[in-house]
Structure formats: structure tokens, C-alpha cells
Amino acid sequence: MAAACSTYDGVPEASRSGFAYGVSKSFVKWYSASQSERFNGRGQRIVSVSHGSVDTEMGRLEERNGAGAIVAAFAVPRWGNAEEMAELFAFCAGGRAGYLTGTDILVDGGVVASMRERTRVAAQQA
């Protein structure tokens, strides 16, 4: 814990919330993968979901901090909706997803894929 705190203290104050978000997201993904074997022995599955911008009250708060511009500029130029997320969660919890465990599902309208591709193309052009 001390090492984690000292790392956080070394991050510029303006970047700390983004740093903390990245660390927490990485932890959730790691935990899902690391616990899947343990829980599978009990007939349970572990899946995490990394969602993009979703049209909810919380999502609209994020829009004021720049999420709206990100959504408009990438693969699926719209916000996700709560029904789409509910369908995914229902599938994950249902019997048809019995082989799904130890993973994170990225459902972000292609934002991460677009960002990676744009970075790749820019690097080739440099």
C-alpha cells in the first residue's frame, strides 16, 4: 500500500484522477482473470465489463468533462444506452454464456479500437 501511495504522490495533481481511474480499471480486469479458476470450481463465472459512455445521468456528468467529444469522434458516434448494457449483463448472467469467464468485455462503441488504430496510423506516417 505504501508503494502504491508513493506512486500516486508522484503523479502531477491534475492527472491524479485519471491515474486512479486507470489503476482501478486495471485492478478489476486483473481480479476477474485471477479469480476465474477459483470460482469456476464452485460453478460460478467471473466477468467484468468495461463500458464506454452510456446515456445515463452519470454519463451526462462525464459529458461535461469531455466524454461527449470523444464519443462523437470515433467508430460508433453515439452514446450507448442502458438497454444495451442490460442486454449484455443478462447474456453474461445467463446459461448461454457458460463458457465465458476470466475476462473483461469492452463495450465502448469502438472508442478504444479507434484510438489504437489512429495511433498506429499516426506512428506509420511519422
Q: For 29-53, how does the pLDDT look when each residue is reduced to its tens digit (9 = 90+)?
A: 999 999 998 888 888 999 999 998 8
Residues 6 or more apart in contact with residue 82 via CB below 8 angstroms? 54, 55, 56
> Over the stretch 101-117, which tens digit does the pLDDT of each residue have?
999 999 999 988 988 99
What pLDDT score was predicted for residue 80?
A: 93
Topology of 35-125 in CATH? Rossmann fold (3.40.50)
> Which pTM value belongs to this model?
0.80
Residues ≥6 apart with Cβ < 8 Å to 73: 114
Catalytic residue among 21, 29, 31, 99: 21
Tell me which of 25, 29, 31, 99 is the catalytic residue: 25
The answer to whether residue 21 is catalytic is yes
Q: Could you tell me which residue, 76 or 68, shows the higher pLDDT?
A: 76
Q: What is the DSSP string of 8-63?
A: HHTS-GGGHHHHHHHHHHHHHHHHHHHHHHHHHTTT---EEEEE--BSSHHHHHHI
Is there a catalytic annotation at residue 29?
no
Q: What is the mean pLDDT of residues 17-40?
A: 89
